[in-house]
Amino acid sequence: MSETQSLRAWLLTDTPTSRRHARLSAIYQGWLSLRSNTMAMVGLGILVMLVFIAAAAPIIAPHDPFVQDLGNRLAPLGTEGHIFGTDSLGRDILSRLIYGARITLYIVALVALIAPVVGLLVGTVSGYVGGWPDLILMRITDIFLAFPRLVLALAFVAALGAGIENAVLAISLTAWPPYARMARAETLTIRTSDYISAIKLQGAGPFRIITKHIWPLCISSLIVRVTLDMAGIILAAAGLGFLGLGAQPPSPEWGAMISEGRRFILDHWWVATMPGLAIFTVSLAFNLLGDGLRDVLDPKAGE
Amino acid sequence: MTMLDIKNLNVWFGTARDRVDAVKDAGFSVAKGESFGLVGESGSGKSTILRAITGLAPTWSGDITVNGDRIDQKRPKSFFKTVQMVFQDPYASLHPRHSVDQVLGETLHLHGFKDIDKRVVTLLDDVGLGQKFRFRYPHQLSGGQRQRVAIARALAPEPTLLLLDEPTSALDVSVQAEILNLLTDLRAEHGLTYLMVSHDLSVVGHMCDRLAVMRGGEIVEVMTTDTLRANQAQHPYSQSLLEASI
Amino acid sequence: MMDNLLDIENLWVRFPSRQGVFDAVRGVSFSLGRERLGIVGESGSGKSMTGRAILRLIRSPGIVEADYVNLHGEDLLAKSEKDMRAVRGQKISMVMQDPKFSLNPVTTIGDQIIEAYRLHNNASKSEAYAKSIEMLNAVSIRDPERVMRAYPHEMSGGMGQRIMIAMMLIPNPEILIADEPTSALDVSVQRQVLDIMDKLVRERGMGLIFISHDLNLVADFCDRVLIMYAGRIVEVCEADKLHEAKHPYTRGLLNSLPRLDAPRDRLEVLKRDPDWATAPSVSGRT
């Protein structure tokens, strides 16, 4: 008990004694304020569970998600051995949902790696450099913004061919402009601040200023925005899946599952509803977490 | 020996119809080791002169000579080893996500010093902060402590000319006294030259040997502090400033 | 015994936080008559919190506690939020440090003043307009018609602050709380704004609470001064006798100021005594 007490005190100190200590202490303080937000913790809990389910899918799943059993198709909820029922080809819906978590995570992770990074790069460079590079980059951003997201993604997928990777690419390409806009707006206020002037007076070049001084300040609000957008990304992926342009059958992607289920939606509602509920839960979890993260990370709301 | 010589300095912002002349035809010179004050109300252009010297206000014309070298629009890296600046608001001049150690370490790294650890320790001692502040973030520091960090950062490249832009106007009077004493000590120890901007005549009177009074972008009078104290300012504007601050 | 407008006993402002409860104001008692009362102290001394606590403007999670905060014998802390809204502005007004943050940037000054006037008075638009012009005249604004049409960003700091004062005075409050009203202004403008406030307070017989960090200004401008340190009042004195103050904290503050007429090589540095923070608060009641 006393050991955990002293560890806590060590982490909460106002007088850190080393670089590592200072960093750990800052992380711990952030964690504490996130923990005090119940809804964010619920969101985080759901996401941790999702990761766990995805990782342990072969162990947890009661059936093989691809094995068809035409004698037992469209079994209702609570059927022996099929809690969530079976779909039109007699595949176990629960198992498919569990394996689908992997695909969802894969899409989310890839988009989260591509879109914000591109947005951050374009936005900060554009905001910091100004002049004609700003003009060009922002007009390109405007062009991307002018198209409805799903329509643009559809066009990309149509050009590149259907498939998960192309769906991810298409979603990323349509997702970055808002991040670029946001990063640029933040850069514009940051670049006139005294601490940027101060580092300029030490002879720092634009590259160092952007990467070491502007990025750390943009990233936190970007992370918040990305978590809040995750719901939209999952839905866009599901939408592409639903239209048959994302993951291809028999892959158990949630959007594609809804698409399959829609033919029976009146008589066998659970086939489409179960994956719908899964999408809803995960989107909600990301939104809750994003709200909580905003309270922790947003430097403007702090103090 | 002159440390800083300014002739016919004009600084403006915007172009054509929107052009605002912030400094008009200013000129003065500061001797090596001297402490020179720029006094005026807000908008008089006093801070703009500092920003023009450091290149933070890019649109200027005229002659600025630092330590015998005439300054071009583009300043070489060596310039920042001679001239450094302390900003007005210590709450805005430190990066909110960088610890004291990072701030000083990066500055030293940029100026090509190798013994960074040792120098950070010395700098912190110089400004009276001590080692326990080394790994703190700005939000863990008081206003006075932040300003000490900002002074340490300005001292890191071992400059000879320090530009002080209202270094104490955001601080409490008791903290102001500590910072002003620190600046006095540092000037004696390192043989620094100060160019100090302030709206507070008594602060400039305390810190400086000579001062220039500015109004509307123009220097109306240059005098010694003794003249000011003896109430012998010539220009009516200087007199009215003096009256208002006693 | 003076005619007291405001009487405060044992006022506390607390902020619960993860590290425990932080007390910003700790057991402060004072009264306000038809006078100019100065509250001085350094940042973090609780002087602004005291001013805001009277109007119950402390934001959550902050808590205001007191034995009583009586305005004409009515306890403000017992009032509902709805009744409190009638007190704010009508009976007690507040002028903040920076007028830029207190005025709506997208509405003309005239519209804002007229709106404020009609909120408190049942008046027609033209009546309100005439009254607004009158108010702007009262705070020595030349050409009030032009100012009425202007937007806040077109005003200088001094003008903005005068407009704020004009707006605060429209409902004819009995008490004006001014929180560092001149700190953002140049010295010459500072004087003008103070003179206007002084004139209005005298003519209308208002009570003024003047919160400032500037000892000399308060000594000049106020009748009575409370000196606050670490959330408590450490000393109460007549403003013209401030320079003869006894408490080592007040003395230290006065001595740490650079002075043109008495040059020194080094300024005196205030040595803080931990006893100051623990000593009981001095009562500022009369």
Neighbouring subunits of C (3+ Cβ pairs under 8 A): A, B
In a domain, A302, yes or no: no
3-state helix/strand/coil string of chain B: CEEEEEEEEEEEECCHHHCEEEEEEEEEEEECCCEEEEECCCCCCHHHHHHHHHCCCCCEEEEEEECCEECCCCCCCCHHHHEEEECCCCCCCCCCCCCHHHHHHHHHHHCCCCCHHHHHHHHHHHCCCCHHHCCCCHHHCCHHHHHHHHHHHHHCCCCCEEEEECCCCCCCHHHHHHHHHHHHHHHHHHCCEEEEEECCHHHHHHHCCEEEEEECCEEEEEEEHHHHHCCCCCCHHHHHHHHHHC
In this structure, the answer to whether residues A144 and A8 fall within a common structural domain is no
In a domain, A303, yes or no: no
Q: What is the CATH number of the domain that holds A269?
A: 1.10.3720.10
Cβ distance B199 to C186 less than 8 Å, yes or no, reads yes
Contact between A270 and A85 (Cβ < 8 Å): yes
Secondary structure (3-state) at C118: helix
A263 to each of A88, A250, C1, C277, how far by Cα in Å? 9, 16, 88, 76
Nearest CA in chain B to C265: B206
Task: Residue B117: name the closest of B135, B129, B90, B136 by CA.
Answer: B135
* C151 token code pair: 């937007």
Half-sphere exposure of C99 (CA within 13 A, CB side): 24
CA angle at residue C79 from C73 to C85, to 5 degrees? 105
Residue type, C276: W
Determine the distance in angstroms separating the CA of A17 from the nearest CA of chain B, rounded to an integer. 6
- Within 8 A by CB and 6+ apart from A212, the residues are B106
- Tell me what pLDDT residue A302 has: 41
Query: For chain A, how many structural domains are there in total?
Result: 2
Instruction: Tell me which residue in B143, B205, B228 faces C258 most closely, judged by beta carbons.
Output: B205
Count Cβ–Cβ pairs < 8 Å, chain B vs chain C.
Answer: 72
For range B156-180, the mean pLDDT: 91
B119 has a pLDDT exceeding 90: yes
In a domain, C161, yes or no: yes
Which of A125-129, B40-44, C274-278 shows the highest mean pLDDT? A125-129
Q: In what order do the strands lie in the sheet with C232-238?
A: C92-95, C175-179, C207-212, C36-40, C224-229, C232-238
Cβ distance C264 to B206 less than 8 Å, yes or no, reads yes
Indicate the DSSP class of residue C8: E
Nearest CA in chain A to B53: A201
Quote the domain boundaries for residue A190: 45-297
- Within 8 A by CB and 6+ apart from A179, the residues are A115, A116, A118, A119, A120, A123, A222, A225, A226
The bridge status of strand C92-95 relative to strand C232-238 is: unpaired
Domain residue spans in chain B?
Answer: 2-245
In terms of Cβ atoms closer than 10 Å to its own Cβ (0-12, 13-18, 19+), residue C241 is exposed
Residue type, B137: Y
In a domain, A282, yes or no: yes
Instruction: Domain B2-245: state its class.
Output: alpha beta
Q: C139: pLDDT confidence band, cut at 50, 70 and 90?
A: confident
C30 has a pLDDT exceeding 70: yes
Residue C68 CA to residue C285 CA, distance in Å, equals 13
In this structure, the answer to whether residues A195 and A275 fall within a common structural domain is yes
For range C125-154, the mean pLDDT: 85
In this structure, the number of other CB atoms found within 10 A of the CB of residue B146 comes to 22
Residue C235 CA to residue C281 CA, distance in Å, equals 8
Contact between A253 and A151 (Cβ < 8 Å): no
Residue A239 CA to residue C279 CA, distance in Å, equals 69
In a domain, C135, yes or no: yes
Task: Residue B37: name the closest of B203, B210, B181, B239 by CA.
Answer: B210
Contact between B172 and C183 (Cβ < 8 Å): no
Taking each helix axis from N to C terminus, what angle separates A270-297 and A215-242, rounded to the nearest 10 degrees? 170
Q: Which residues pair with C178 in a beta bridge?
A: C95, C210
Residues composing chain C: 286
Contacts of A32 in chain C (CB under 8 A): 18
Cβ distance A22 to B137 less than 8 Å, yes or no, reads yes
The strand ranges marked E within chain C are 6-17, 20-32, 36-40, 63-65, 68-71, 74-75, 92-95, 175-179, 207-212, 224-229, 232-238
- Chain A residues at the C interface, defined by Cβ less than 8 Å, are 12, 32-33, 36
Instruction: Tell me which residue in B174, B205, B246 faces C253 most closely, judged by beta carbons.
Output: B174
Determine the distance in angstroms separating the CA of C71 from the nearest CA of chain B, rounded to an integer. 32
Q: C1: pLDDT confidence band, cut at 50, 70 and 90?
A: very low
Q: Which residues pair with C14 in a beta bridge?
A: C23, C63
Q: Which residues pair with C32 in a beta bridge?
A: C6
Contact between A298 and A37 (Cβ < 8 Å): no
Task: Residue A187: name the closest of A214, A166, A211, A207 by CA.
Answer: A214
Cβ distance A217 to B54 less than 8 Å, yes or no, reads no
Sign of the alpha-carbon dihedral angle for C52, C54, C55, C56:
positive
Contacts of B203 in chain C (CB under 8 A): 258
In a domain, C93, yes or no: no
- Tell me what pLDDT residue A303 has: 38
Contacts of A25 in chain C (CB under 8 A): none
Q: Which residues pair with C36 in a beta bridge?
A: C208
In a domain, C117, yes or no: yes
Cβ distance A32 to C18 less than 8 Å, yes or no, reads yes
Residue C26 CA to residue C10 CA, distance in Å, equals 8
* A244 token code pair: 């048959």
For range B118-137, the mean pLDDT: 89
- Tell me what pLDDT residue A292 has: 84
- Tell me what pLDDT residue C154 has: 81
In this structure, the answer to whether residues A20 and A111 fall within a common structural domain is no
C204-234 residue pLDDT tens:
888 999 999 888 888 888 999 999 998 999 9
- Tell me what pLDDT residue B222 has: 94
3-state helix/strand/coil string of chain A: CHHHHHHHHHHHCCCCCCHHHHHHHHHHHHHHHHHCCHHHHHHHHHHHHHHHHHHCHHHHCCCCCCCCCHHHCCCCCCECCECCCECCCCCEHHHHHHHHHHHHHHHHHHHHHHHHHHHHHHHHHHHHHCHHHHHHHHHHHHHHHHCCHHHHHHHHHHHHCCCHHHHHHHHHHHHHHHHHHHHHHHHHHHHCCHHHHHHHCCCCCHHHHHHHHHHHHHHHHHHHHHHHHHHHHHHHHHHHHHCCCCCCCCCCCHHHHHHHHHHHCCCCCHHHHHHHHHHHHHHHHHHHHHHHHHHHHCCCCCC
Instruction: Tell me which residue in A15, A19, A216 faces B97 most closely, judged by beta carbons.
Output: A216
In terms of Cβ atoms closer than 10 Å to its own Cβ (0-12, 13-18, 19+), residue A208 is middle
Contact between A195 and B92 (Cβ < 8 Å): yes
Judge if the upstream peptide bond of residue A250 is cis by omega within 30 degrees of 0.
Answer: yes
In this structure, the answer to whether residues A31 and A149 fall within a common structural domain is no
**Positions of chain A with pLDDT under 70:** 1-5, 14, 298-303
In this structure, the number of other CB atoms found within 10 A of the CB of residue C280 comes to 10
Task: Residue B36: name the closest of B198, B233, B235 by CA.
Answer: B198
B60-102 residue pLDDT tens:
999 999 988 888 888 888 899 999 999 988 888 999 888 899 9
Determine the distance in angstroms separating the CA of B138 from the nearest CA of chain A, rounded to an integer. 11
- Tell me what pLDDT residue B82 has: 92
C67-99 residue pLDDT tens:
989 988 889 888 888 888 888 878 898 888 776
In a domain, C59, yes or no: no
Quote the domain boundaries for residue C125: 100-172
In a domain, C150, yes or no: yes
Residue B175 CA to residue B62 CA, distance in Å, equals 38
- Tell me what pLDDT residue B192 has: 94
Residues 217-236 of A with CB under 8 A from B: 217
Taking each helix axis from N to C terminus, what angle separates A164-191 and A149-160, rounded to the nearest 10 degrees? 130
Q: In what order do the strands lie in the sheet with B2-13?
A: B20-31, B2-13, B60-66, B69-70
Residue B30: phi and psi, rounded to 5, are: -120, 125
The bridge status of strand B210-215 relative to strand B35-39 is: parallel
**Mutation site, B97, B103, B139, B149, interface A, largest A CB count within 10 A:** B97
Q: What percent of chain C has pLDDT over 70?
A: 98
- Tell me what pLDDT residue A166 has: 85
Q: Which residues pair with C175 in a beta bridge?
A: C92, C207
Determine the distance in angstroms separating the CA of B103 from the nearest CA of chain A, rounded to an integer. 9
B105 has a pLDDT exceeding 90: yes
Helix (H) or strand (E) holding C195: helix C187-204
Nearest CA in chain A to C17: A33
Residue B22 CA to residue B10 CA, distance in Å, equals 8
Task: Residue A283: name the closest of A239, A217, A250 by CA.
Answer: A239
- Average pLDDT for chain C: 85
Query: For chain C, how many structural domains are there in total?
Result: 1
Residue C45 CA to residue C13 CA, distance in Å, equals 12
Put simply, whether A16 touches B (Cβ < 8 Å) is: yes
Contact between C33 and C20 (Cβ < 8 Å): no
Sign of the alpha-carbon dihedral angle for A155, A159, A162, A163:
negative
Q: Which residues pair with C75 in a beta bridge?
A: C70
In a domain, A169, yes or no: yes
Residue B246 CA to residue A242 CA, distance in Å, equals 78
In this structure, the answer to whether residues A104 and A150 fall within a common structural domain is yes
Contacts of A13 in chain B (CB under 8 A): none
